[in-house]
C-alpha cells in the first residue's frame, strides 16, 4: 500500500455518513420510522 490514510482522511470520509440514534428494545426490535437510515441499511445493505 503506497498511501496510508491519515486521521484527516478518515475524518473526511466518515463526516458524510448519516448518524442517527437507534433505540433497540429488549427483543432486538427498532422503529423504522424513527431510524430510517438504519432501516434502509438493514434492508438494503
Q: What is the DSSP string of the chain?
A: ---PPPHHHHHHHHHTS--------TTS---TTT-HHHHHHHHH-
Specify whether the CB–CB gap between 39 and 32 falls below 8 A: yes
The model's pLDDT over 1-45, given as tens digits with 9 standing for 90+, comes to: 578 999 999 999 899 887 889 999 999 999 999 999 899 999 998
Nearest to 36 by CA among 16, 17, 20, 15: 20
pLDDT for 1 equals 59
CA 3 to chain centre: 25
Contacts of 31 (CB under 8 A, 6+ apart): 23
Amino acid at each position: 500500500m503506497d498511501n496510508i490514510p491519515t486521521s484527516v482522511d478518515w475524518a473526511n470520509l466518515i463526516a458524510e455518513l448519516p448518524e442517527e440514534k437507534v433505540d433497540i428494545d429488549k427483543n432486538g426490535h427498532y422503529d423504522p420510522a424513527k431510524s430510517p437510515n438504519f432501516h434502509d441499511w438493514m434492508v438494503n445493505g
